[in-house]
Amino acid sequence: MSESEQEQSDKQKYEFKKVIEKLKGYDGSGTQLVTIYVPEDKQISDVVAHVTQEHSEASNIKSKQTRTNVQDALTSIKDRLRYYGNAPPENGMVLFSGAVDSSGGRTEMVTEVLESPPDPIESFRYHCDSDFLTEPLDEMLADKGLFGLIVLDRREANVGWLKGKRVEPVKSASSLVPGKQRKGGQSAQRFARLRLEAIDNFYQEVAEMANDLFVSRRHEMNGILVGGPSPTKDEFLDGDYLHHELGDNVLGKFDVAYTDESGLYDLVDAASEVLAEHEILQDKEAMEEFFKELHDGDLATYGFGPTRENLIMGSVDRLLISEDLRKDVLTYTCENGHDEYEMVDRSASIDDHDCSRCSETVPAEEAEREDAIDHLMEIAQQRGTETLFISTDFEKGEQLLSAFGGVAGLLRYSTGV
Ligand SMILES: [Zn+2]
């Protein structure tokens, strides 16, 4: 993925997250919110046929209100599907429609279509419930990581991937290591030697399997997790069986009872703390750097105004935005063409604004209102600045939101702003 494609997809992800957050906030008073996941290879005409079928089955719903709401939602979805040819967009699409509770005990009809999510939609899904089904999209939008997985004991081994939140088993092997009981007539020494050889051979086989899978992708991988009973996994790691360039990627070893495919899932569970830590690692490093520059250097900027000014100058290397920032930006343009900007709470009402340069008053109704993250990312994109969304799940990340207005930047050079 090129840098600009990466930025494009960051922006798209943010747009998706905004819509999903809105959808999650809705409640339907009955089982009346419809969600449809459409994979890329499903014909739109098939989807329309399915929706038509559901519409006719909905006539059996006892509650008149729910029945009407479900049928209205389905009609609204059918209307939307008319805008498409017979093929869904790349990676598929998700349709949401339903009557949601709005203020004053009334309901309001909402319909949203999300096209071309970051990962392909794998199967067709029709869902009608009291809330919209957003989990599959949440998983796609979660921070992606790529981890190699190995589970082994002396009898069998499995290797695979953890991609985002999804475990993908790839290969398995089983060993010819004899049990501890030797047969009669065999010398104890010889038996022990053969057994050690067999174990060594098996570890080599497992390592080869892992090397085949992992070595070529070692630069994009976030790490390797190794699981199994003691002392197998320790012997395996201490024996340096893995390719030397993979050795440094091992994030940890974990006790796991099973070493079949299910062991890969157990391994991910056992490593959950390490994985959670890893997810915010980049955020932590960026915030460490920010605080260091703030105290001892001059390459930090923070707050909406100064950060925006630096962004416009092109001096920001990395824009740091709190992932919990929920603000708007107001743009006031006076009669003399001066633009001034202000970041405000979403619920804030707008007042008249006096231009600081010429004192002309801009009436409140002429102010333009825009999502603050959209506003900042737009500028960042034009200036080739990378945007990092900083989690609030650690102290310094929480401080970005509470003490620095949720917006900061690491600079390429000092600007004095
Ligand atoms: Zn002015």
Task: Give distance in angstroms: CA of 406 to centre of ligand 1.
Answer: 28
CATH number at residue 108: 3.30.960.10
98, part of any domain? yes
Please give the pLDDT value at position 334.
Answer: 95
Regarding whether 138 and 11 lie in a shared domain, the answer is: yes
123, part of any domain? yes
Indicate the pTM of the whole model.
0.71
Q: Give the separation between CA 292 and CA 250, rounded to whole angstroms.
A: 29
Q: What is the DSSP string of 219-263?
A: TT--EEEEEESTTHHHHHHHTT-S-HHHHTTEEEEEE-S--SHHH
Give how far Cα 327 sits from Cα of 125, 341, 342, 394, Å.
34, 13, 10, 21
121, part of any domain? yes
Please give the pLDDT value at position 103.
Answer: 77
Please give the pLDDT value at position 3.
Answer: 53
Regarding whether 267 and 161 lie in a shared domain, the answer is: yes
Phi/psi at 37 (5° precision)? -100, 125
Task: Give distance in angstroms: CA of 301 to centre of ligand 1.
Answer: 26
Q: Give the separation between CA 317 and CA 367, rounded to whole angstroms.
A: 30
416, part of any domain? no
Number of domains into which the chain is organized: 3
- Within 10 A of 330 (CB to CB), how many other CB atoms are there? 21
Q: What is the dihedral of CA 263, 268, 274, 276, to 10 degrees?
A: -170
Regarding whether 381 and 290 lie in a shared domain, the answer is: yes
Regarding whether 123 and 15 lie in a shared domain, the answer is: yes
Regarding whether 224 and 106 lie in a shared domain, the answer is: no
Task: Give distance in angstroms: CA of 379 to centre of ligand 1.
Answer: 22
Task: Give distance in angstroms: CA of 304 to centre of ligand 1.
Answer: 20
Please give the pLDDT value at position 143.
Answer: 67
Q: Give the separation between CA 336 and CA 338, rounded to whole angstroms.
A: 6
CATH number at residue 290: 3.30.1330.30
Regarding whether 344 and 309 lie in a shared domain, the answer is: yes
Please give the pLDDT value at position 278.
Answer: 84
Task: Give distance in angstroms: CA of 310 to centre of ligand 1.
Answer: 21
Please give the pLDDT value at position 96.
Answer: 97
211, part of any domain? yes
Residue 126 belongs to what domain range?
3-142
417, part of any domain? no
Checking DSSP bridges between strand 353-354 and strand 361-362, what pairing results, if any? antiparallel
Regarding whether 398 and 319 lie in a shared domain, the answer is: yes
Residue ending a domain, choose from 85, 108, 142: 142
Give how far Cα 406 sits from Cα of 8, 38, 104, 306, 352, Å.
22, 36, 33, 13, 25
Regarding whether 7 and 134 lie in a shared domain, the answer is: yes
Regarding whether 316 and 256 lie in a shared domain, the answer is: no
Residue ending a domain, choose from 142, 170, 186: 142
Regarding whether 175 and 130 lie in a shared domain, the answer is: no
Q: Give the separation between CA 111 and CA 98, rounded to whole angstroms.
A: 7
343, part of any domain? yes
Regarding whether 373 and 324 lie in a shared domain, the answer is: yes
Task: Give distance in angstroms: CA of 358 to centre of ligand 1.
Answer: 4
**One-letter identity of residue 158:** N
Residue ending a domain, choose from 110, 142, 174: 142
89, part of any domain? yes
Nearest CA to 165 out of 196, 139, 190, 133 is that of 139
Per-residue pLDDT of the chain (417 residues; tens, 9 = 90+): 455 566 666 778 888 999 999 999 888 778 899 999 999 999 999 999 999 999 999 999 999 999 999 999 999 999 999 999 889 999 999 999 999 988 777 889 999 999 999 889 989 999 999 999 999 998 888 766 899 999 999 999 999 999 887 899 999 999 887 777 766 667 888 888 988 999 999 999 999 999 999 999 998 899 999 999 988 999 999 999 999 999 889 999 999 999 999 999 999 999 999 998 888 888 999 999 999 999 999 999 999 999 999 999 999 999 999 999 999 999 999 999 999 999 999 988 899 999 999 999 999 999 999 999 999 999 998 998 999 999 998 999 999 999 999 999 999 999 988
Regarding whether 327 and 250 lie in a shared domain, the answer is: no
Task: Give distance in angstroms: CA of 333 to centre of ligand 1.
Answer: 7
